[in-house]
């Protein structure tokens, strides 16, 4: 993670594309496709090289969680409550037991 100052203030933390990929656990191919999709993730604040501000990504994450919770609430009848992780895509591979 690249930092422009010694603060821990997210407004002053800039993430490279690789940092964003690691933050969300995206692979290179799908990750770079997601970074180009402006409906998927907010645009970078700095161009050449691309940099994303941590506070903006955190705000975007909060909006995504609220949308997921609203979707979950709309799908579930009153009184029945599922886990929000049920809305997430399932992993393609299952880990082998050790």
The more confidently predicted of residues 86 and 15 is 15
Tens of pLDDT, residue by residue over 2-45, are 544 456 788 899 999 999 999 999 999 999 999 998 888 888 99
Return d(Cα 35, Cα 41) in angstroms, integer.
6
Parse the chain into domains and list their residue ranges. 2-65
Three-state SS string across the chain, please?
Answer: CEECCCCCCHHHEEECHHHHHHHHCCCHHHHHHHHHCCCCCCCCCECCCCEEEHHHHHHHHHHHHHHHHHHHHHHCCCCCCCCHHHHCCCCCCCCCCC
pLDDT given for residue 15 in this prediction: 93
pLDDT band (50, 70, 90) for residue 83 = confident
Q: What is the mean pLDDT of residues 54-58?
A: 93
Residues in contact with 14: Cβ distance below 8 Å, sequence separation at least 6, in sequence order: 2, 3, 4, 45, 46, 51, 52, 53, 54
């Amino acid at each position: 993670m690249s930092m422009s100052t010694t603060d821990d203030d997210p407004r002053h933390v800039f993430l490279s594309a690789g940092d964003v990929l690691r933050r969300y656990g995206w692979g290179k191919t799908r990750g770079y496709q997601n970074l180009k999709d402006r409906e998927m993730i907010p645009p970078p604040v700095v161009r050449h090289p691309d940099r994303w501000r941590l506070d903006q990504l955190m705000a975007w994450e909060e909006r995504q969680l609220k949308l997921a919770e609203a979707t979950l609430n709309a799908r579930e009848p009153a009184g029945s409550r599922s886990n929000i992780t049920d809305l997430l895509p399932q992993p393609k591979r299952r880990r082998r037991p050790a």
